[in-house]
Amino acid sequence: MTSFGERLRSAVDTHGRLCLGLDPHGSLLAEWGLPDSADGARELALRAVDAAHGRVGVVKPQVAFYERFGAAGYAVLEEVIGHARAQGLLVIADAKRGDIGSTMAAYGSAWLDPASPLCADAMTVVAYQGLGSAAPVIDLAREHDRGVFILTATSNPEARDLQQSITGTGRTVAGQLARDVALKNAGTSGWGMLGVVIGATEPITRTGIDPVLLAHTPVLAPGFGFQGGRLTALRELFGLAADSVLASVSRSVLGAGRDGMAGALDAHRQELAA
């Protein structure tokens, strides 16, 4: 099987670097005239996948917006992931799981094992306990040619005190995590199977992350659109790491409604091409 890094690079080369978040917020369901229920989430997410087909190569369901409906929400998420993958889209499960040992291995099995009904192409992971804490998930991803995105410098301002604090190495927490991930991708000719999450709400230069290190590391960048990040400023925000960025948008597209999502995606694609 082709590695995750190669599949992601191919998707970006074919469809551009836009990623659509499949996040059925309660407020969005209301705007769509849908019930705040698993059935409402299903309708919104499946229609969003249909709009994404042929326009973007990657979608990212935020797991929390499905699991809030319990078993019914997970059934919807299984269907959404299956529908997206059947359409040829790569799926990043935005699960943000983090722990150690056997618990982390179980999280990996849920989201990355082909035997799981929730299996996606990649998942997001919290590893502020040290990158080694994510080893069970990383090993499973490598075994099944999946990907893992490590939260590094997120888009929410309240995280900055922690993520930009200085470690014993003299680097910021974000900078150290990004370096550790980059070292694991070293020797890869293209993109590695490990990525980082870096928000688009402030320049990478303020995070303590060295963008030079990210040539072989895909960067999942939330914060564009609704949170204020501008797609036209992508290169300004990410500097030398810009060519590694997968720009994630959600509410700015989903908020356009059933009939407006395709146009919103096309407009965002044009912004990235400007």
Output the CA–CA distances (angstroms, integers) from residue 186 to 182, 236, 239, 240, in the order listed.
Answer: 6, 25, 20, 17
Catalytic residue, from 25, 47, 96, 251: name it: 96
| Bridge partners (DSSP) listed for residue 149 | 124, 195
In whole angstroms, what is the distance from residue 194 CA to residue 68 CA?
28
Query: Look-up: residue for tokens 């200085």?
Result: 166
Dig out the tokens for 108 from the structure: 């990996």
Q: 230 by DSSP, 3-state: which?
A: coil
C-alpha torsion angle, residues 72, 73, 74, 78 (rounded to 10): 100
Check if 60 is active-site. no
Q: 58 by DSSP, 3-state: which?
A: strand
Active-site residue list: 96
